[in-house]
Amino acid sequence: MSLYFRWIWGYWRKRLGVLPILLFFTVVSTAVAVAWPLVWKFALDAARTLAPGRAEAMGRVADAVLILLLVGVGRSVRNFYPMMRARVNGLFEMAVRRDYFEKILHKRHGFFTKFRTGDVVTRLTDDISGFSKIAWFMCSGVFRAFESFSGLVFSVVAMLILDWRLGLITITPLPLMMFIWYRVRVLVEARFKKNQAAISKTNDLLESTFSGIRIVKAYNAEDRFRKKLGAILSGRVDVEMDVVKLWALLDTFYATLSNLGRVLAIVFGGLWVLDGSLTIGTLYAIFLYVDQLVRPMMDIPQFFISGKQTTVCIDRLLELADFEAGKRDDDGGPEIVTRIEDVALRDVSFRYDNGRAEGALAGVSLTVPRGRRVAVVGAVGCGKSTVARILSGELRPAAGDVLVNGRPLPEQDLPSYRRRVGYVPQEALLFSDTVRENVAFGRPIDEPALREALRIARMDAEVAAFPKGLDELLGRRGVRVSGGQRQRLAIARALAGNPDLLILDDVTAALDAENEEALWDALAGAREDLAAVVVTHRVATAMRADHIVVLDRGRMAGEGTHEHLLATCPPYRRLARSPIP
């Protein structure tokens, strides 16, 4: 409990300035809640003294009207209280989201294998800003309950002072109401979850049907899929009705209870008015109080419900933050890398967190000097991508060293090293932004350099063909690019920084033979002194390298030239033979 309190307090501490405003509103709100029925009492008791011919009593009615207007203004002012709360919610929302987004930006690779993107995004968006979740609870949840509680207490006190007998009678149904509301809300929550599960089942079917439409059609399965949807949907009718029934029942129930209070007020109040121990004005005032008490009856239990929800959401954020807490992706030494003369792996071992053998490395060594091209080849799962990711600085070896210019990489400044590296991962990632922004990617790169990078990556002609050229938006509101174009844009992005070391991880998979060849020609012509590491399982690609390293299940199986390896390295021979006789 205190953990959550401290967490929330951590954000509140920086926003204490808004507290007086919120407290002021709470006071206004409570005052209005208490005063409003009292003013009506005054007005009605004044009206009651009216009788034909007694015009002087109108003076008291006029007083009542003035007070009513005043309190009416207060009521309108109170109406801005939720707005103020919404503002504070919004400020918290931004702060929390920023904090955790920043933490995620510093996470190392393992984080992203553990958490799916969609999951992380939900935690950063809906968990924070959804109704009755973190941001809502932090201000609205707390202060709404506070407002309600204060209004409730003072109203009840006012009722008891006005007439303790009537007050007691009318508030008896209220605790029961609060309890039932809470219980049913919890029940609704459970049924609602069931309904959500049914909805996602529908979505799963829709998703798999639309993405596999060719197969559905080719196997004449349209009707069968429609029937399957029909079955899921008819199952949903009852689940949904269950939710609706509860809600409707709840609605009806609390309205009935509050009306019961009002009827009790009239009957008993009426009795006492008859015997002269109560005025009509007091009766009406209590009548109005009962009406006002309904909302607090729901707000106070809501505080506990959303509080519980919020602790779950906070846990989910903390889970993100606590994963490998204290480790940052860019931990390293102070030395700035200004130029990469050579990069080497010395006896490097690595194993992924999932413990599987795929992609693991054991005792891998290689050297990439300037101007040389090294190919890393091997079957899928042999660890060749891991080599690329270690060289790029994304992964850190479990044992062994990464040497840059002969010195261990961890002693040097990692961001400065990365700036000298152009790394193109297997899966090219672009952003919904212009071509220019995607290639320059925040770095100060002038237009000629951008165009040159696009030219080498064999993307210049296609970009020129976009309606807005370099300023064309990529993604959902711009042009859709193919897998190959995406790869080539990623290559252009890597080249635009004028790197000393280029790492291509199997990028040629998305390029056909023609395009691949042209890319290599352009690269060779433009950057003679570039060091390059090419990860591939295409032997034709490896052949163009100066030096080939063969990996077999994470170990070095051989290295040398193509001819040398054909003669001496059985795994390489297998690789060369396998797809092509």
Q: Which of residues 28-57 bind another protein (CB under 8 A)?
A: 40, 43-44, 46-48, 50-55, 57
Closest distance of CB 441 from another protein, Å: 5
The burial class, CB within 10 Å (0-12 / 13-18 / 19+), for 113 is: exposed
Residue 130 in contact with another protein, rule: CB under 8 A: no
Closest distance of CB 12 from another protein, Å: 18
Q: Among 10, 175, 230, 469, which residue sits at the site for another protein (rule: CB under 8 A)?
A: 230
Return the residues of window 270-309 that contact another protein according to CB under 8 A: 270-271, 273-274, 280, 283-284
Closest distance of CB 348 from another protein, Å: 19
Which residues touch 268 (CB under 8 Å, ≥6 apart)? 165, 166, 169
Instruction: Kindly write out the interface string for residues 409-448 of this chain, putting x where it contacts another protein by CB under 8 A and - elsewhere.
Output: ------x--xx-x-x-x---xxxxx-------xxx-----
Rounded to the nearest angstrom, the gap between the alpha carbon of residue 253 and the centroid of all alpha carbons in its chain is 37
Residue 198 in contact with another protein, rule: CB under 8 A: no
Which residues touch 549 (CB under 8 Å, ≥6 apart)? 364, 366, 374, 375, 376, 377, 387, 556, 558, 559
Q: What is the C-alpha to C-alpha distance for residues 314 and 2, in angstroms, rounded to an integer?
A: 13
Q: Among 172, 256, 561, 568, which residue sits at the site for another protein (rule: CB under 8 A)?
A: 256
Do residues 544 and 552 lie in contact, with contact meaning Cβ atoms separated by under 8 Å? no
Residue 408 in contact with another protein, rule: CB under 8 A: no
Nearest CA to 404 among 349, 348, 339, 347? 339
- Output 199 or 403, the one with its CB closest to another protein: 199
What are the Cα distances from residue 29, in Å, to 24, 26, 74, 81?
9, 5, 8, 8
- Output 172 or 432, the one with its CB closest to another protein: 432
Task: Count Cα neighbours of 332 within 13 Å in the Cβ-side half-sphere.
Answer: 24
Closest distance of CB 3 from another protein, Å: 25
Return the residues of window 352-371 that contact another protein according to CB under 8 A: none
Closest distance of CB 90 from another protein, Å: 5
Q: Which residues pair with 96 in a beta bridge?
A: none
Closest distance of CB 350 from another protein, Å: 16
Q: Among 214, 339, 355, 406, which residue sits at the site for another protein (rule: CB under 8 A)?
A: 214
Return the residues of window 522-561 that contact another protein according to CB under 8 A: 524, 537-540, 542-544
- Output 306 or 485, the one with its CB closest to another protein: 485
Closest distance of CB 88 from another protein, Å: 11
Q: Among 120, 169, 533, 534, which residue sits at the site for another protein (rule: CB under 8 A)?
A: 120
Q: Among 14, 245, 356, 468, which residue sits at the site for another protein (rule: CB under 8 A)?
A: 245
Q: Please count the residues of this chain forming the interface with another protein, following the rule CB under 8 A.
A: 159
Q: What is the C-alpha to C-alpha distance for residues 409 and 391, in angstroms, rounded to an integer?
A: 10
Residue 184 in contact with another protein, rule: CB under 8 A: no
Residue 21 in contact with another protein, rule: CB under 8 A: no
- Output 183 or 443, the one with its CB closest to another protein: 443
Residue 23 in contact with another protein, rule: CB under 8 A: no
Nearest CA to 393 among 366, 362, 417, 428? 417
Place of tokens 């209280």: 81
Do residues 338 and 360 lie in contact, with contact meaning Cβ atoms separated by under 8 Å? no
Record the tokens describing residue 386, joined without a space: 């891991």
Do residues 392 and 500 lie in contact, with contact meaning Cβ atoms separated by under 8 Å? no
Nearest CA to 29 among 86, 71, 91, 92? 71
Do residues 277 and 162 lie in contact, with contact meaning Cβ atoms separated by under 8 Å? no
Strand order in the sheet with 547-552: 421-424, 501-505, 531-536, 373-377, 547-552, 555-560
Residue 312 in contact with another protein, rule: CB under 8 A: no
Q: Among 218, 406, 444, 461, which residue sits at the site for another protein (rule: CB under 8 A)?
A: 218
Going through 123-251 in order, the beta strands assigned E by DSSP cover: none
Closest distance of CB 315 from another protein, Å: 19
Record the tokens describing residue 411, joined without a space: 């002693």
Q: Among 208, 277, 338, 354, which residue sits at the site for another protein (rule: CB under 8 A)?
A: 208
Closest distance of CB 573 from another protein, Å: 9
Return the residues of window 72-91 that contact another protein according to CB under 8 A: 72-73, 75-77, 79-80, 82-83, 86-87, 90-91
Q: What is the C-alpha to C-alpha distance for residues 367 and 403, in angstroms, rounded to an integer?
A: 9
Q: Which residues pair with 421 in a beta bridge?
A: 501
Q: Among 394, 401, 462, 472, which residue sits at the site for another protein (rule: CB under 8 A)?
A: 394
Do residues 138 and 8 lie in contact, with contact meaning Cβ atoms separated by under 8 Å? yes
Record the tokens describing residue 299, joined without a space: 């707000």
- Dihedral-angle region of residue 458 (phi above 0 means left; psi in -120 to 50 means alpha; beta otherwise): left
Nearest CA to 487 among 428, 433, 421, 426? 428
Instruction: Kindly write out the interface string for residues 490-529 of this chain, putting x where it contacts another protein by CB under 8 A and - elsewhere.
Output: ---x---x--------------xxx--x--xx--x-----
Closest distance of CB 432 from another protein, Å: 4
Return the residues of window 137-166 that contact another protein according to CB under 8 A: none
- Output 160 or 273, the one with its CB closest to another protein: 273
Q: Among 3, 69, 157, 465, which residue sits at the site for another protein (rule: CB under 8 A)?
A: 69
